[in-house]
Amino acid sequence: MSAGLTEVVFATFLVFCRVGGCLMIMPGFSSQRVQPQIRLLIAIAITLAISPLIMPGLTSVVRGASNSANMENIISELLVGGVIGLMGRYFFLALQFAAIALATFIGLSSLPQASPDEVDPAPAFASIITLTATILFFLTEQHLEVIKALVASYSILPVAEGFDVQRSLTQLTRTLGIAFVLALQITAPFIVFSIAVNFMFGLLNKMTPQIQVYFISIPFVSAGGMLFVYFFITEVMRVFTEGFMTWLQRGV
């Protein structure tokens, strides 16, 4: 094999390391519903699709590099891809946190079930919300924005600079803050509803202590919560989808 062909093959493998590291953690692609063989084929297909766009800058990095430098580049690209995927996953973890909080606010958290995407059990309501977000992830073509973000990451985080730990931690911290602020925006109406209803029934319990207010309040809290879900679920999913799309389009 000629030296030029070897450089092209290794440069393509470096692209695969970043793409594979990202898709291994990125929501949607990393779902347990997707078979590992399919994930591997998707990563290979994306690698071959975007490699011609990045190849001119990569061949100059791998040309004449020692074996230790090549190994450092492989590890660095895996870490860079993993950080990008983890930042995207933060949004879905924040959504899951918000969905579990919503289930608690409207009295639907008493029956946790096995989640198809997570190891820990979660309320069925939270599983429905996260499943809907995953479906919207593909229906709104956010998976294509992930691919665009991967291509753009080579201009922001070039291979020659290696893995910057401090910069990565800063990006992870900032993204975590953005994701949980978004989760707070989603849960805000339900927090207000929960505080108002529990305050009202707390006053009623003080005025009529002989009545079991807790058992009376359960159907009202659940019914009111389901009405809130009926009227606000579309807005909740829209705010989350737009927030995640904005982050993807802004660039990692």
Domain boundaries, the chain: 3-250
What string of pLDDT tens digits covers the 252 residues of the chain?
Answer: 565 677 788 888 889 999 999 998 888 888 777 788 888 899 999 999 988 888 877 777 777 777 788 888 889 999 999 999 999 899 998 998 888 888 887 776 665 555 555 656 677 778 888 888 888 888 888 888 888 888 888 888 888 787 888 888 998 999 999 999 998 888 888 888 878 877 877 777 777 776 676 667 777 777 877 888 888 888 888 989 888 888 887 755
CA-based nearest residue to 136, from 42, 20, 242 = 242
Length of the chain: 252
pLDDT number for residue 214? 67
CB-count burial class (<10 Å; 0-12, 13-18, 19+) for 117: middle
Calpha distance 131→99 (Å, rounded): 11
pLDDT number for residue 46? 92
H or E element in which residue 199 lies: helix 165-207
Q: What is the pTM of this model?
A: 0.83
**Are 65 and 73 spatial neighbours (Cβ–Cβ below 8 Å)?**
yes
pLDDT number for residue 32? 76
